[in-house]
């Protein structure tokens, strides 16, 4: 999602060293009334996917 007015400018282009982390604002559209979200993240096609699940706030 791109929304420059609110700081949502796409994926970060930052390279990280092993063991480091980064936080970025992220947005998505959900069905109205959704209470749970699952997000799958993989840095590239050769890496394992990390899955995060939690309540929508």
14 vs 38, which has greater pLDDT? 38
Signed CA dihedral, 47, 50, 51, 56: sign only: negative
Two tokens at 9? Answer: 């400018």
Give tens-digit pLDDT for 40-52: 988 788 889 999 9
Taking CA 42 as the corner, what is the angle to CA 36 and CA 45, rounded to the nearest 5 degrees?
A: 140
Output the six-digit token pair for 21: 């982390």
Mean pLDDT of the chain: 84
Q: Two tokens at 54?
A: 């939690």
pTM of the model: 0.52
Question: Per-residue pLDDT for 7 more than 80?
Answer: no
Q: Is residue 1 over pLDDT 70?
A: no
């Amino acid at each position: 999602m791109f929304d420059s007015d609110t700081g949502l400018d796409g994926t970060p282009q930052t390279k990280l060293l092993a063991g480091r982390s980064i936080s970025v604002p992220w947005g998505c559209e959900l069905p109205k009334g959704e209470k749970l979200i699952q997000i799958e993240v993989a840095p590239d096609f050769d890496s394992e996917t990390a899955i995060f699940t939690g309540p929508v706030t």
